[in-house]
Structure 1
Amino acid sequence: MFSLRRLTSSFFPAVLLAIATVSGRAQLVTVGDGGPGPVKAQHLTAELTTLAPSVNPGGTLQAGLVLTLEEKWHVYWANAGDSGQPPKITWTLPEGVTAGPLQFPAPSRLPLGPLMDFGYEDLVAFPLTISVAKDVKPGPIHLDAMVNWLVCSSTCIPGKAHLGLNLTVVAQPTPEPARVGALGTALTLLPTVLPATAKYSVMGGAKDYVVTLLTTEKTSNAEFYPYEQDQICNAAEQTLTKIPGGVQIRVPRAAATDAPVGTECTKTDKLAPLAKTLHGVLKLSDKIAYDVTGPVVPGEVAVTVGQGGAASGITIPVAIGLAFLGGIILNLMPCVFPVLFLKGLALVQSSTSERKQLRMHGVVYTLGILVSFWTIVAALLIVRAGGSQAGWGFQLQSPIFIALLALGLFFFSLSLAGQFDLGLSLTSVGGGLAKKEGYAGSFFTGVLATIVATPCTAPLMGAAIGFALAQSAGVTFAVFTALGLGLAVPYLALSFQPAWTKILPRPGAWMEVLKQLTSVPLFITVAWLLWVYGNLFASSTVPSNGVDHESLLLLSLILLAIAGWALGRWPAKLKSSVTAFVLGAIAVAIPLYQPKDTTLVWAPYTTQAVADARAEGKPVFIDFTAAWCLSCQVNEKLVLKSAEVQKVLADKHVTLIRADWTQYDPAITRELAAVDRSGVPTYVIYPAGKDTKADVLPEVLTKQLVLDALAKDTKQ
């Protein structure tokens, strides 16, 4: 199915052109006699102009196409937006003379119903450069041009003009021409390269791109225009936010090309894949625009001041108050409450302890939380100083952090569930609060509470954090400190007023049962982290990458479960500690090892894909596989993804097609039968040529076997 984006970007302009052609063929009549103009066409006047009438051999001259439009009519930028086509010139030039491409000044947004075009109204000039070779003889020359355009209002009309330039090549040096007229103005409005003092970066989130420009230029109405189509939702509002040292523009992502017909990009969750780079024009004002390009860093940026919601109109005292209240509420979130609950149990069991020691444990616990929050905000500020943006929970964009957090919580949960006893654990359960050595436990419990709080956002937190990230370093630290104090204050209050623990039930066997029950939300959190971990690696082209990495992390969790079993089977024994340590080290090493994925992309199998690939005469490699086929996975990991095989496949320009038979597919079944096979794994190479015979490889592959087959089947 076509999406609205695809419908409007390809089909809609074609329909307009067809209607214009059929309803009035006079509209396509070429105007002009080959001279510079101006010539009058429907709803605009076109002409070619230069800054000077002459040019030197070996020199260049600035020329331009100038279009003067009637009121309420417009023409288009290089990327027309949801519909339209930019002007084009086809030149017929003397030998030794060349004309550069049209250059486009920064456009404006031109709304039309639910759509958004990018273009120009009133008057626009498109500069270009004429170059003359050194061996061109002095004398008059004529440059002939056929110009095409699409001019639109509520309807669109194609236009065509036969224009030209009469120039003189002169041997004597000529002075630098003045930049005057429409062409001179347009040359000053072309997007320029970013100055050395400015920095451009892009973060791509689940629903939008956040474009950040660190610059000394003042602006209150910045806009972003991408050169590539199907990247942003053209019709959506672009939200500008001032940040320390620059501006931020939040631009919603485009709808997927297979979204239902008629779906507006602002009203669908089915979005186009995240772009690898974002190249476009950042327009700061009518006179200042930059041509920018940069990689898209996956991640989320907190909504900041002026972007609607609770953050609008917020002040520093309000932000600090919201952060403090949000921190208190954060204690009730599923990821934090088990830790606080265990601390409460420890207070019940230690109610007879000296009051001074209880208070010290509360202070140390609070210090652990504050130090952790200060570390997080310092990292946020370092990231921001580097030109990138990050929000609360930015650590969850790191696969390594996710893996270590999941492993740590899983091991901790195993202990809570009763598989083994950590002894003096991070939560100091069992009276550790009454002992001096338990202070380390209280401190690191505060660290743990902060770590497990990062996946959660309590009510009121979002507005406060969004405000903090748009302010100076001092304000950011103040807001995050208030958030940390809010998280710490319930336990801190209980430690200073032990009498309040009387409202809690008395110690008993029920405490062990409840302690085990607290492992349940932590296990659920681990499951969620596993899902996040897989999504960090999944892509629209290779979604199986996420499953592969999830499987490796699951293997690490299994190793930790075995380590926990060893600790419970032989408590307080050297052999159990050594076994647990070795297994734990292996479990941590597995997700930490993240080799760079240099594997080639395999196209999904269709009968048409195979037919088209063979029709091109190139060698074709078909991998018949399935997720449940263990030998398929072994062959893929050890052979097909090996560096040697990958290099030959790339060097020989082999077309790669993967026939996934995980679920029954009659087309794949027929293809297997055609090569006398009935199951997977099956590997088929069609040698170069349109009518070659299939070369079927054995089920068990080796590198040398595949390399030899490729050497034989890729000979021309």
Structure 2
Amino acid sequence: MWTAEFRSRTARCLCWLALAFLLPGVARAQVDSSHARVELLADVRGVVPGQPFTLGVALALDRGWHTYWQNPGDSGLPVRVAWDLPAGFTAGPIEWPYPQQVSPPPVVTYGYEGMLLLPVVVTPSADLAGPGPLTLRARVSYLVCKDVCLPEQADVALSLPLLALAQPDPAGQRRLAGARARLPRSLPDIVISASAYGEHYYVYWPAAVGRGDVSFFPDHEGQIRHSVPQGRAREGSRWRLSLAAAEPGVDRLSGVLVSAGGWDAAGQVRALRVDAALTPLVAPPPPAPAPVTAPVGMSLLWACAFAVLGGLILNLMPCVFPVLSVKVLSFIQLAHGDPGRVRRHGLAFLAGVMVSFWLLAGLLLVLRAAGGGVGWGFQLQSPGFVAAMALLLTAVGLNLMGVFEVGLGLSRLAGSAPQPAGYPGSFFTGTLAVLVATPCTAPFMGAALGFALARPAWEALTIFTALGLGMALPYLMLAEMPGLLARLPRPGAWMVTLRQALAFPLFATAVWLAWVLGRQTGVDAVGLLLLAALGVGFAAWGLGHVQRGARRWLPGSVVVVGLGLAAVLGFAAAMRPDAMAVAPRSGAGLDWQAWSPEAVERHRAAGERVFVDFTAAWCITCQVNKRVALGTAAVTARFAELGIVPLKADWTRYDPAITQALASFGRSGVPLYVYYDGSAPPRVLPSVLTPGIVLEALGD
């Protein structure tokens, strides 16, 4: 029986075929102004009787246009090649490179953008004789689509001489080798199996391989429903990908399994062949944490644009602004000095931001390659890092208060501007800004980071570079525009007060980090951290006395003792036992329950609506949303009225299930808010909430 989906696809195909055959004049005109340049090439300079060689059908598609794979999905037509070869020649099948999804639901299609090269092995007759050259012809029929779809044809030909000995063509070999690198392969160490239960199929592979997003592309129609998201979940020592069955009676799955990060250690093999018998299951497997709804079709250019915008907005976040205020202070000090020096300080700040983002991106990619599920803000899941950052911000605040000096001579401020820290100080400010930025997932940043961590390394580094440029852009503009600097007030004694006032936001950030540490490891750890902060203050006081010219041994000893106490007590605070095993507290007016994939499925199976808050104690945006939106009386009353079950996925400490669930929604960090309403697809809310946004999402 034909499904509605199949009938729809068939109707579209018949329309395109009618255009191709009933209106040949129009088709020829479209070929003349083609959206693809078609070429025939070979990996040899000539034909040797009986010796196989490879031809390549190349299509260079115009920007924004795409064509289709051997199984185009819900719509489209695959590329077809009709050969006209000399007598005695035989052409093998097209070797198809792995495709990509070129259109999102509800009509999902598979195909190619940019450059496509289809290899075909040709075998000449062993008894070829006579003078050359030999002409090989092909008629290439293809459908190109953008806003509209156009059937096109191209007649291509290639003349090759008849040779006694093989002569490779290096240019053709290089191009065909690039195409063959995209062909699906079989790796002996990776066993792929499949099973079936009810209306679902499941594909399995070892847990040690398959980095980034993994997608299955069926190589022929009638296996799966293309528009249904594919859900990935860990099952013991293997991964499982769930697929929606298209029609009953399928006993094998065949196609291509594509991993964004690659299947081999070098990440070079992106696609594996799948041809596995479907083994019936007697019970359904454990539910996947969430369907894969990563941003489909997001280009690298759009991801970079979102990253730049997210980096700009990061400057306004409460976790970043206290540190960047130090940079603003230094610009005020330099406002009426040498413009070249201002520019160099701006570049040093940019270097600190960029190097930090590159190191952070590199660490994320290394951990991803090692099989770890990590995301944005992962370092704040470490109590040691949280404790170290709290103590560092305490030290920076004491420096701004004038307890000790690092390049800023307050004693020289009487009637003149203080001398700002040198270029290493500007570099350090950029580094520190990045370190404290990770608790904040600015709007527009979540999708870009999720895209980055699912893409190859060079694309991820490009997106992190864009994020760093966006964060540093306001300060670069200030450094490059003397007119703006000239409008700033002249330095004077008033800057002592400003500098000391800027210390208090840093102290507030340190207090917040102490609270995060308490959520992670308990109240005893907070006490130890406060004692460590006292040691930092003790050391800063001694260092200040040394800098003011004290010659006695006492100040130097105070510095050593203070730093020793800070190091020992800070380490002890970070090593306290984990306190995150407790259930989520009821708060913000809602009775939050602990999240798990099983809890989501259990409540949904019972017909209940579910709201999931992916959050963390170190996420400033999460805490603000909880108080200004989720904790309001109107939202709480609406939850009760609709019987919505609130589930909290607390990512304050590392949790692989939460990391996987975030990745399934195309995110690499928190906050993330997901609303499940009956059998409808889950709805993702914005990262920054208001009561109106939440109430609108809940609907009736």
TM over 0.5: no
Q: TM range, normalised to the smaller chain?
A: 0.3 to 0.5
Q: Whose RCO is larger (CA < 8 A, sep 6+)?
A: 2
Name the TM-score, length of structure 2 as normaliser. 0.41
Task: Compute the TM-score of the two structures, normalised by the length of structure 1.
Answer: 0.41
